[in-house]
Structure 1
Amino acid sequence: MDIYGHDRKLENVEKRIRDADYSEDNKSLIFEFENRLFAEGLETSRVLKYMSQMNMISRWFGKNLADVDEKDVEQLVGSLERSSKKYSTKRDYKITIKKFFKWLYRSEKLEMVDWIPTKKSRENDKLPEDMLTPDDIKKMVDAAGNARDRAIIYTLYESAARISELANMKMRDVKFDEDGALIHLDGKTGPRTVRVAYSVPALGTWIEMHPNKNDKDAYVWINIGSRSKGQPMKYSSFQRLIKRTAKKANIDKNVHHHLFRHSRATELSQIIEQPLLEKFMGWVHGSGMTSVYLHLSDEDLDNAICNMYGRDNRKSKEPALKPQFCPFCDKPISPTSQLCTNCGKPLNAETAIDLDEKRKQVADVMQLLISDPELNQLVQEKISEVKENDI
């Protein structure tokens, strides 16, 4: 399932290129380039980006692309660098320019674009304090408005799934067992299976409420509002949910779906070895993704060195979010649960006292209804009205 709508967006870009006021020769070259990109096995999302940028690049050059020389390239790259565009946007355009002209000229004239710098900047690297903490996740779960949203927040974080992997989950991809649940994910680096534990109560509750829970091919994450009710959630739906919940939870960070993955990778890196981390995250071994995703603090480094020298009492890392088990029925419960979702019993003294107080209040109200004939009659009349309206 294309949760991003890339196919539709690519069709729109292709139409803009066909309707553009630059030369037919340029249009022909751009579409030939598109075919080459697909032939190389690039995903639609990448082709979409190249095509959108080539549309702009063709306009900027203002001449036939086949007639562009190194001076033209220097002038365009210089203008691009002086512009107010973000570093990442400038870099993307420069990468596209290099790729297009290397394809156009094959092994000739490579010096025309080889000089263009495309090194990734580290200025925007995330700091440890930018990461989501387990406490942030708990706050977002508490702020979530319904069972589905709570399950998404927990599962997105604990599984470290890419948003496309999460969106494409079907009922058959979730297997509950005595240790939690195994979730089958299928992403850009291939399929993998990850275990989740503290997400299980929230995930299980949502699946039990799911209107198509017995259909193995049904998507797990569906819309529950009046618009597109029952349809699989799209990328924009996940984004709105995450932004809305983070705002409601007063999380003062730039929270987006990929930050969940970044943060979980950083947490796991302090607990499991790199080969296992790469497998869990769905990274290709040796790809360098570990260094991109991990954001450890100076304290983390200090603790690791002290532990290496035998100071094992120095804050050894454990998962901050750990599954808990009900002391009455021994079923897993979420870290934020006050009541067991399986047996319904309170999990701490405060909740038990609060529950008893609420029961007492209900009993007092019922006693008042029984002892006051007029009030009792009024309630009976209202009940009769409701029944008549339902018929």
Structure 2
Amino acid sequence: MTKKYCTYEQQIVLKDYFNHIIAQGKSKSPHSIRNQISNLALFSKDIGKPYSLITIKDLNNYIAGQVRNCKFNTVNTRKDIIKRFFEWFERPEVVEHIVIKPMEDNKLRKEDLLSKMDVRNMVAACCSEIYKLDLNCDYNAIVDTGIRDKTIIMTIYELGCRRSEVSFINIKDLEDKDTHFLVTVRGKTGERTLPLVETMPYLRELLKTHPYRFDTDAPLFISVKNNEWGRRLLAHGINSVIKKASKRANISKRVYPHLFRHTRATYLSFVKKWTERELRLWFGWTATSYMPNRYVHFAQQEVNKKYVKELGIFDEAEEKKNEAEDKILNIKKCDNCGHKNSATATYCDCGYPLDIKEFTKHRKTISETDELMNELFSDNEFKELVKEFLKKRVNRKEE
């Protein structure tokens, strides 16, 4: 990104600053460092001046533009990055007036979160598009963006992980345990290993044709864009996948990668009743992080529901609806062969239908076919035609 947006002189300065951040050792996450440099590269492009000539007025104009177009917390983060950079660049006088305010706790309403049906619809909306990669290898190097995008959506939902954590999963980070996968993700607070169950069928399908499946150091999710062909799918690529799927699924609410994290944290906290310690371990929050408190404002609603339910006052229809939705992303096990299929699969690989609607349709087709065959073979004229046909086949083989 620095080459794309910065002059040669700016690139040299940013490289020195990058080395300074690494040497300090304060940032544990490579993504965090990358994010700082990316923000500075975009800042450099917008300002269009050498760092030594940037004035207070230039900075004020830039920040004012950010305030008009971005959310408070985003602006605050960018101000902090710029301020620390100029202090390192030994020009503290141009940033001493910049005030970094405490981050706002942007409370989400429950209706802003994704339902399991929303996630299912997004997965179902991912269209299969095949791209062939020229890798000069002995096997077919193809990328099906349909299964790639389905796997991304299911992974980011089931793990509730950060966008960068999904992007930086490598093939070696996966361990197939037969009933599920174990995946190691790396975030701000180090690495953690988590199970993937509902995502397993999509993941297996993706790995079958992954062009780098024999290279354990290769990224799990790769780009098919011309200028990024075969490279790791980065943050902007994950954004694009999510936006496109939500649009195709006709979801009216604002959908973005971090919404999956909010959704999953709320679900595990208030539906599955996970403890604060369990949530911190799963989501990679430190012992001092305030993040679990973000979901406390949903607690009052849940307490109210629990109270009236204990008194025997509850909506039975709503309870059944909630129970049904809770299973909507569950793996479908084939009654015929036992194969574990994805939640959105209609038929198993063996051809057996996986849901009641399709099973009924399947049985009806079989019944109608049997009825038609019985009717045909009860007709003497048809039987004679079949005999004649078989006789000709036998004679042809003997010749």
Per the shorter chain, which TM-score range?
A: 0.5 to 0.7
Q: 1:47 aligns with which of 34, 37, 61?
A: 37
Aligned length: 342
- Find the aligned partners of 1:330 and 1:188 in 2 and give their Cα distance: 40
C-alpha deviation, 1:249, in angstroms: 0.6
Within 5 Å, give how 1:74-89 maps onto structure 2.
80=63, 84-88=68-72
Secondary structure at the counterpart of residue 194 of structure 1: strand
Secondary structure at the counterpart of residue 352 of structure 1: helix
Within 5 Å, give how 1:101-250 maps onto structure 2.
113=96, 116-122=99-105, 124-146=106-128, 147-223=147-223, 230-250=230-250
C-alpha deviation, 1:144, in angstroms: 1.3
Q: 2:2 aligns with which of 1, 5, 10?
A: 10
User: How has the CA–CA distance of structure 1 residues 197 and 114 changed in structure 2, closer, same or farther, with 3 Å as cutoff?
Assistant: same
- Find the aligned partners of 2:43 and 2:263 in 1 and give their Cα distance: 31
Counterpart of 2:179 in structure 1: which amino acid?
Answer: D
More displaced 10-residue stretch of structure 1: 42-51 or 125-134: 42-51
Instruction: Confirm whether residue 332 of structure 1 aligns to residue 332 of structure 2.
Output: no
- Find the aligned partners of 2:78 and 2:199 in 1 and give their Cα distance: 41
Counterpart of 1:136 in structure 2: which amino acid?
Answer: D
User: How has the CA–CA distance of structure 1 residues 242 and 58 changed in structure 2, closer, same or farther, with 3 Å as cutoff?
Assistant: closer
8 Å CA contact retained: 1:91, 1:118: yes
- Find the aligned partners of 1:96 and 1:169 in 2 and give their Cα distance: 26
Counterpart of 1:195 in structure 2: which amino acid?
Answer: P
Which residue number corresponds to residue 380 of structure 1? none
- Find the aligned partners of 1:87 and 1:131 in 2 and give their Cα distance: 19
User: How has the CA–CA distance of structure 1 residues 266 and 294 changed in structure 2, closer, same or farther, with 3 Å as cutoff?
Assistant: farther
C-alpha deviation, 1:301, in angstroms: 4.1
Counterpart of 2:113 in structure 1: which amino acid?
Answer: M
Q: Over residues 332-381 of structure 1, what are the superposed CA-to-partner deviations in whole Å (9 max), with x where a residue is unaligned? A: 3333332234x4322334212433566799999xx9xxxx9xxxxxxxxx
Counterpart of 1:45 in structure 2: which amino acid?
Answer: N
Counterpart of 2:278 in structure 1: which amino acid?
Answer: L
Which residue number corresponds to residue 254 of structure 2? 254
Q: 2:289 aligns with which of 260, 278, 287?
A: 287
Which residue number corresponds to residue 350 of structure 1? 357
TM-score (normalizing by structure 2): 0.66
Secondary structure at the counterpart of residue 186 of structure 1: strand
Q: Over residues 185-223 of structure 1, what are the superposed CA-to-partner deviations in whole Å (9 max), with x where a residue is unaligned? A: 223322211112222222222222334445434433234
- Find the aligned partners of 1:228 and 1:362 in 2 and give their Cα distance: 51
- Find the aligned partners of 2:100 and 2:222 in 1 and give their Cα distance: 44
8 Å CA contact retained: 2:83, 2:98: no
Which residue number corresponds to residue 84 of structure 2? 99
Which residue number corresponds to residue 382 of structure 2? none
C-alpha deviation, 1:267, in angstroms: 1.3
Secondary structure at the counterpart of residue 103 of structure 2: coil
Secondary structure at the counterpart of residue 169 of structure 1: coil
8 Å CA contact retained: 2:39, 2:78: no
- Find the aligned partners of 1:215 and 1:79 in 2 and give their Cα distance: 44
Identity rate of aligned residues, in percent?
Answer: 25
- Find the aligned partners of 2:225 and 2:99 in 1 and give their Cα distance: 49
RMSD (Å), alpha carbons:
4.7
Which residue number corresponds to residue 385 of structure 1? none
User: How has the CA–CA distance of structure 1 residues 251 and 16 changed in structure 2, closer, same or farther, with 3 Å as cutoff?
Assistant: farther
Q: Over residues 45-66 of structure 1, what are the superposed CA-to-partner deviations in whole Å (9 max), with x where a residue is unaligned? A: 21342465478789699x978x
C-alpha deviation, 1:273, in angstroms: 1.4
- Find the aligned partners of 2:171 and 2:38 in 1 and give their Cα distance: 31
Which residue number corresponds to residue 381 of structure 1? none
More displaced 10-residue stretch of structure 1: 90-99 or 275-284: 90-99
Which residue number corresponds to residue 279 of structure 2? 277
Q: 2:298 aligns with which of 296, 299, 302?
A: 296
Secondary structure at the counterpart of residue 68 of structure 2: coil
- Find the aligned partners of 2:214 and 2:148 in 1 and give their Cα distance: 17
